[in-house]
A and B are shown apart, each in its own frame.
Chain A
Amino acid sequence: MPVFKLSLKIFRKNWVAVSIYIFIFLGIAIAISANSVPEKSIGFSQEKAKVALISEEKTPLTDGFQKELSKSAVLIKLPDQTEKLQDALFFRKVTYILRIPKGFTQSVLSGGSMQMKKTVVPNSVDNAYVDLSVDQYWNLARIYAKHEPGISQQQLVNQLKTNLSGSTPVTIKAHEQAKTANSFSMYYFNFLAYTLSAALIMGVSTLMVVMNKRDIKRRNFCSPLRASSINGQLILANLLFALSAWAILILFCFILDSKSFGTQNMVYFLINSLLFTGSMTSLSYLIGNLMKNLNAMSAVCNVLTLGPCFISGVFVPQEFLNDTVLKIASFTPTYWYVQANTRIAKLTQFGWPELSPIIQSMALLLAFGAAFITVSLVVGKRKNLMNE
């Protein structure tokens, strides 16, 4: 199979360009697996906002307040410099900066109206959350000071501490959660869309562009091989390349997150990614037939991989995307791939009602693949006729 052999040779020559994408991808995947998969805790856990507390006075009450605040906030120490504080707020190192001015305690105790100053991300949830705790503490202090005039600051702090120590019992009525929900595998498979598209376009399209060069094509057709054999070998080589790219990437997922591999969800992840590989391979085949030379290869590859990935929820989850954007995205296979993935990750039951939307997305992936192939056959035929 000389054509097949030649194809493999071209793939090998092209290995560096393809592997760059794979290595970048693995770097990012490892970074994700290292930091973002939170352990699911059993029972209710109180969320904590990130607060920078700057106190210009130190009284028993401000100390007590700080302790109380740390129940609903992580207190982050920052140097008291405007730009440093602004930076921290911009990059969300903190979401709430609270400054207690000098004389504040005295003012509260004597019923004054002095206020603390906060700098926040405007209208944020964290803002509302921290405000609740802050206002309650000082309001209680004010009421104690008014109705128990003789109370000392230390007594007041102790009193508040007892009052604030109770905790509302919380019942969690969770329904069953899939092991793969929000797991590393879900992120991995979503992100896979980027790498697979890039690798396939780089590999398959490059091969097709080279093989379609007029001289090489003519040389091939005057050999004693039937055209169908040449094309068959080419398709075989492309499929082999696509399958090995898929297999290599899946192998890494297995190494990085072996826990999810025993689950039934994984079977569907694999089917879905395989179908995606199929539709991207045929897209790459089409691109290879449309492009005349390799100069614009990396431009086309970048635009066609980055674009759909950005708007279909590979880099930013679909729930954060605007509806119009998603409508545009639904014209790309990537969108349906990500949609199926997200659904698969949450599956706990595998009956028809749960599976049917997933199968629908998968069917669309197949349809995309078939459409790309059809177009490229038509284009290829036309080109052949024009050449002769």
Chain B
Amino acid sequence: MFAHIFLYRFKCLIRDRQLVFWTLVFPILLGTFFYMAFFNLNNDETFHPIDAAVVNNHAYQHDAQFKFVIEHISKGKKRLFNLKVASTQKEADSWLKTNKVKGYFTNGETLRLTVQESGLEQSIMKRFADQYRTDSSAIKSIAKENPKALQNGLLSDLGKQQSYVKEISGGSAKPNNVLNYFYSLIAMACLYGSFWGMKEVTDIQADVSARAARVNIAPVHKLKAFIAGSMAALLILFSEILVLLAYLHFGLSIDFGPRTGYVVLTALLGSMLGVSFGAFISALVKKGEGLKVAILLVISMVGSFLSGMMFLNMKYIIAQYVPLLSWVNPVNLLTDAFYALYYYDSLHRYTLNMTMMVFFILLFCGGTYLIVRRRKYASL
């Protein structure tokens, strides 16, 4: 009997094309849009050598040291500038105007910088000029105190810049913040799955829908029918989430970290969370279907917003200022679980998220059971 109900509920649910659209097609489309829009976003952060120019005037030709330093820093793979030498100030100006260079240096009594606007690249150019000026002033003051220093290799010591910082990675994964959009998208898809749960409850309460009335007439234990139906809903949602994950990973090459097993486990818990949440709200709210849909939509959209789906830093802001909210927001729990799996080496935070989810699932299932059980209908 269980198998029979399961099969027919499955057939009944899968024919709801609107629900399939919102829980499967829509997240896939949205993921594609995200991918197209955010594809290049991180390239903007990457450092490219800055297009800079220097005016080839009298002072520049005769300042061998400056010439050496600026040419040195514009060479090799790790160069700071793509240096162009302008024969006159006028030429440099025209380059600046047509955006061929971000700025140019003019050597004279003091080194000057000409730019079009303030910006990070211009600041780097200024920093370089400051540095040059500082080094010369340091040499002067050392030579004044200790004239022998110049013979003791002061200049060559200055030339031998030592690197005092070593890059260590914070963890094994790159801090690629665009990923969070996709994690919260999956979380949103799971929560949209609550519509399946809602449908389940609607179809088991005889005072709500005609189909439920028919089911209740059958000599099957209500719990049994309900569990069979919920399993069908869960199976559909879980498969949809797996399809979504596969599309994101293989189609759009979104990185989920190396722990695939845990990713699938998270998807399973997420689907259970979605279905049970929908069932619970549907059982709790007695008034019309419109209200139920509105509540589910509002909770999943606000939840997605708070976990950074529309505005990335929202997730961080909430975690910093209202940490409690990030632990009771089911969308954030899911997003954070994916995030922790990708980004952290330890599973501590992931386990915390999963525990909270299990707690919510138990709460929703228990709540639904208590509300739906033992309902008898004298007349309908």
Name A's B-contacting residues (CB within 8 A).
41, 44-47, 72, 82-83, 85-93, 97-98, 108, 113, 115-129, 131-136, 138-140, 142-144, 146-148, 159-160, 162-164, 166-175, 295-296, 299, 302-303, 306-307, 310-311, 315-316, 320-322, 325, 328
The one of A123, A163, A168 that contacts B112, using a Cβ cutoff of 8 Å: A168
In residues 102-145 of chain B, which contact A (Cβ within 8 Å)? 110-124, 126-131, 133-135, 137-138, 141-142, 145
**Residue in chain B with minimal CB distance to A117:** B168
Confirm or deny: B217 has a beta carbon within 8 angstroms of a beta carbon on chain A: no
Cβ of B167: which chain A residues have Cβ within 8 Å of it? 117-120, 122
Confirm or deny: B379 has a beta carbon within 8 angstroms of a beta carbon on chain A: no
B140 to chain A, nearest CB (A): 9
A97 engages B170 (CB within 8 Å): yes
Cβ of A174: which chain B residues have Cβ within 8 Å of it? 116-117
Bound Cα distance from A98 to B165, whole angstroms: 8
A132 engages B128 (CB within 8 Å): yes
Confirm or deny: B164 has a beta carbon within 8 angstroms of a beta carbon on chain A: yes
Confirm or deny: B8 has a beta carbon within 8 angstroms of a beta carbon on chain A: no
In residues 339-365 of chain B, which contact A (Cβ within 8 Å)? 339, 343-344, 346, 348-349
Bound Cα distance from A135 to B73, whole angstroms: 14
The one of A129, A135, A142 that contacts B123, using a Cβ cutoff of 8 Å: A129
A93 to chain B, nearest CB (A): 6
B344 engages A322 (CB within 8 Å): no
Cβ of A171: which chain B residues have Cβ within 8 Å of it? 112-115
A143 engages B40 (CB within 8 Å): no
**Residue in chain A with minimal CB distance to B33:** A310
In residues 214-271 of chain B, which contact A (Cβ within 8 Å)? none
B18 engages A86 (CB within 8 Å): no
The one of B36, B40, B174, B348 that contacts A310, using a Cβ cutoff of 8 Å: B36
Bound Cα distance from A51 to B167, whole angstroms: 14
Confirm or deny: B331 has a beta carbon within 8 angstroms of a beta carbon on chain A: no
Stretch at the interface among B54-62, B204-212, B313-321: B313-321
Bound Cα distance from A41 to B119, whole angstroms: 12
B164 engages A148 (CB within 8 Å): no
Confirm or deny: B97 has a beta carbon within 8 angstroms of a beta carbon on chain A: yes
The verdict on A93 contacting B120 (CB below 8 Å), with A143-B142, A170-B113, A173-B115 known, is: no
Confirm or deny: B166 has a beta carbon within 8 angstroms of a beta carbon on chain A: yes
Cβ of B129: which chain A residues have Cβ within 8 Å of it? 168
Bound Cα distance from A91 to B176, whole angstroms: 9
Confirm or deny: B93 has a beta carbon within 8 angstroms of a beta carbon on chain A: yes
The one of B34, B47, B141, B161 that contacts A163, using a Cβ cutoff of 8 Å: B141
Stretch at the interface among B150-158, B188-196, B278-286, B368-376: B150-158
Cβ of B123: which chain A residues have Cβ within 8 Å of it? 46-47, 72, 129
A124 engages B29 (CB within 8 Å): no
**Residue in chain A with minimal CB distance to B105:** A168
B345 to chain A, nearest CB (A): 9
Bits for B28-59, please: 1 = Cβ < 8 Å to A, else 0.
01100110111111001111000000000000
Confirm or deny: B149 has a beta carbon within 8 angstroms of a beta carbon on chain A: yes
The verdict on A87 contacting B316 (CB below 8 Å), with A82-B170, A310-B37 known, is: yes
A123 engages B47 (CB within 8 Å): yes
Confirm or deny: B177 has a beta carbon within 8 angstroms of a beta carbon on chain A: yes
**Residue in chain A with minimal CB distance to B73:** A132
The one of A44, A97, A169 that contacts B110, using a Cβ cutoff of 8 Å: A169
Q: List 7 A-B contacts (CB under 8 A).
A: A86-B171, A86-B344, A90-B343, A124-B47, A136-B131, A171-B114, A325-B37
Confirm or deny: B21 has a beta carbon within 8 angstroms of a beta carbon on chain A: yes
A163 engages B37 (CB within 8 Å): no
Cβ of B127: which chain A residues have Cβ within 8 Å of it? 72, 129, 132-133
Cβ of A164: which chain B residues have Cβ within 8 Å of it? 130, 134
The one of A92, A108, A142, A173 that contacts B116, using a Cβ cutoff of 8 Å: A173
Bound Cα distance from A97 to B154, whole angstroms: 32
Cβ of A118: which chain B residues have Cβ within 8 Å of it? 165-168
B146 engages A315 (CB within 8 Å): no
Bound Cα distance from A140 to B34, whole angstroms: 47
The one of B34, B40, B164, B180 that contacts A116, using a Cβ cutoff of 8 Å: B164
B219 to chain A, nearest CB (A): 35
The one of A47, A147, A321 that contacts B40, using a Cβ cutoff of 8 Å: A321
A144 engages B138 (CB within 8 Å): yes
The verdict on A121 contacting B45 (CB below 8 Å), with A91-B312, A93-B316 known, is: yes
B81 to chain A, nearest CB (A): 11
A168 engages B130 (CB within 8 Å): yes
B170 engages A47 (CB within 8 Å): no
A46 to chain B, nearest CB (A): 5
Bound Cα distance from A370 to B315, whole angstroms: 44
A143 engages B138 (CB within 8 Å): yes
Bound Cα distance from A379 to B334, whole angstroms: 46
Bound Cα distance from A121 to B167, whole angstroms: 10
Bound Cα distance from A250 to B112, whole angstroms: 46
A138 engages B164 (CB within 8 Å): yes
A236 to chain B, nearest CB (A): 31
The verdict on A167 contacting B165 (CB below 8 Å), with A311-B36, A320-B44 known, is: no
B162 engages A113 (CB within 8 Å): yes
Bound Cα distance from A146 to B153, whole angstroms: 10
B40 engages A320 (CB within 8 Å): yes
**Residue in chain B with minimal CB distance to A46:** B123
**Residue in chain B with minimal CB distance to A169:** B112
Cβ of A169: which chain B residues have Cβ within 8 Å of it? 110, 112-113
Most buried by A among B46, B120, B346: B120
**Residue in chain B with minimal CB distance to A295:** B18
The verdict on A147 contacting B149 (CB below 8 Å), with A72-B127, A118-B166, A119-B170 known, is: yes
Bound Cα distance from A82 to B343, whole angstroms: 11
Cβ of B344: which chain A residues have Cβ within 8 Å of it? 83, 86
B120 engages A315 (CB within 8 Å): no
The one of A86, A117, A162 that contacts B175, using a Cβ cutoff of 8 Å: A86
Cβ of A91: which chain B residues have Cβ within 8 Å of it? 177, 180, 312-313, 315-316
Bound Cα distance from A67 to B341, whole angstroms: 38
A344 to chain B, nearest CB (A): 20
Bound Cα distance from A339 to B365, whole angstroms: 51
Cβ of A168: which chain B residues have Cβ within 8 Å of it? 110-113, 126, 129-130, 133
Most buried by A among B46, B96, B123, B315: B123
A311 engages B343 (CB within 8 Å): no
The verdict on A117 contacting B33 (CB below 8 Å), with A47-B120, A144-B142, A168-B110 known, is: no
Bound Cα distance from A116 to B131, whole angstroms: 20
The one of A47, A82, A124, A135 that contacts B165, using a Cβ cutoff of 8 Å: A135
A46 engages B36 (CB within 8 Å): no
B117 engages A302 (CB within 8 Å): no
**Residue in chain A with minimal CB distance to B112:** A169
A142 engages B162 (CB within 8 Å): yes
